[in-house]
Chains A and B, each alone.
Chain A
Amino acid sequence: MSDIPLERGAIGVSTRRVGTRLPARVIVALICWLVIAIMAWPLVMSFLASFKPEAEVAAVPPDYLPHSFSLQSYLKVYGYQAGLPTYLFNSFMVAFLTIVFCLVLAVPAGYGLARFHVPFKEVLFLVLLASMMIPYQALLTPLFLMFTKLGLTNNHVGLAIIHTILQLPFSVYVMRNAFEGIPRELEEAAIVDGCSPLQILGRIFMPLAMPGMVTVSLFAFIMSWNEFLAALIFMSKETAFTLPVLLTGVIDSFYGSVSWGPLQAGVVVSVIPCIAIYFLLQRYYVSGFLSGAVK
């Protein structure tokens, strides 16, 4: 699985330094494996259940492991209402737009904050962080009214804007930190060469701040992909649902009977991109997580 990298090494809280008593080490190792089993269990069960044929998913009492392999549940989800490809496309599109919006807004803002003297800088910084202090749940009603007038409901751009509201404070924070971490000498050399601030941003800073931008994109993706409440309210048309909203329909919509199999198939489909991205980019994920929360 994953090894979350943190800079510092062991710091003596381990049992190994206590006195190298073997039993203690073995016990700790056993605890570790037990914890891993507990954490993995629900996902593994859900994954296995998604491949059970209908009769097995509905069996009472249920069995842990499938007795046969079936794609029945996936086929059902695939053909559900407007079809899974539509919903996958919606989710990806909204997430993609959210990433674009976050980058377009947060990269220059972070640059401005990190590299210039701006009047009332810290006040403006706080304004940018406003949506961190105002729960977006509270803003959904006025935003809904506003978006109905602008035609932004049932619309990828509309939902992406909501997700950007949610994600902007974190993005600005990360980009500001990223730009502040770049040595002054580089900037000064560029000025001597006659670059404009925009050129400096584009040619020197953005490449160096790439890890920050990856972090911003990664978090924007995961948040947008998973967000539920706004999607539930703003996407009322069955062709506009995102994956989490689709699942509420899957569970309840086969004429009143709970469709556990297709639900688990839907769960697997929504979980896979998150886990894949997490494994691929976990270095950015964890460092972003800490820079956003700890500093």
Chain B
Amino acid sequence: MVLKVMSSNQAIAEAVKLAKPKVIPVYPITPQTTISEYLAKYVADGDINAEYIRVESEHSAISACLGASGTGVRVFTATSSQGLALMHEIIFAAAGLRAPIVMADANRALSAPLSIWNDQQDSISERDSGWMQIYAENGQEALDSVLMSYKVSENKEVLLPTMVCVDGFILTHTVDPVDVPDEEEVDKFLPDYNPEHAYLDPKRPMSIGTFTDPDYYMEARHDMEVAMEKAKAVISDVSQEFADTFGRKYDFIEKYRSEDADTILIAMGSICSTIKDVVDELREQGEKVGLVRVRVFRPFPVEEIYDAIKGASNVGVIDKNFSFSIGGVLHNNIKSMMDVNAAGFIVGLGGRDIKPSHIKEIVEKTNNPSDKPQWIGLNKEEQ
């Protein structure tokens, strides 16, 4: 293993180089831009043998991805925030047409007010699209997740696209050591994509994406839900195969010192690294605190999360997103699917930095919960 110091954006571009997509339509947007720049360079230098399409918008980027995927080739794109919002129409179409696209999303707040900084409202707002969603904790996981995602998405039992989400700036622009896997090993783990069913080929004419009357639409959507359920077993298998090959194991959730914990925090993405430091600190002071990090958000790992938290007296769920009148979406999902009292916390919107003191405040408030979701880190107490 040779570690190299790089940003998550570069790590994602390295993963794409190894995954060898044939078509890469990308439109740059902060903080995703360096992904598009690395990929443009790799294609220009001949390191990736792909068509790099400089599209005029994100709507075109995902449309080109869908069209190319429809011809049965592997594709990649990346976006962020307003770009993902502009893709919204085709995001649903891509899932419905069962195109195994892998896309990176550099998580960034949605306008207005205009912000280039991190939260997870952009991808969370696409949660019902039929895409699988992975929230990476660091650059290594972002790289590994791109490779695993192709294998899961392209599995004929699944055929749903995947969004690999990385926190804008906090990951996309942070450099730290990353292991870039060996090309030969990746080729064995992730061979070329060979579609079996619906793809466009002049020798075998067919239509994709046709009009569907009320006799068929529900079945098509139901098939997607069945595929999303089936994806769970595929994700487990692929994760195990990845671990066997590369030595890094990723489950639906990561349990950090949660087994005997009285108080468990649940969160997604890079904030979990800071939480782990706080958990260690509080453990040294004798507080039995733990973390459950949700890595796979769709399909939603109900059993895994419930198993991990059912023994705890207090559970606090941290969201970098907000649904009006409801609270954080992860919090809401957990409360609706599990028999558990969980306090909800909103943090880090629009790049508000999350310090250890905020995490300690959340632990304190989780142990003395209130009914309403609480906003942590507001300049004025407006709750």
Q: Do the two chains belong together in a single complex?
A: no
Chain B contacts to A: CB under 8 angstroms: none
Task: Give A residues with C-beta under 8 Å from B.
Answer: none
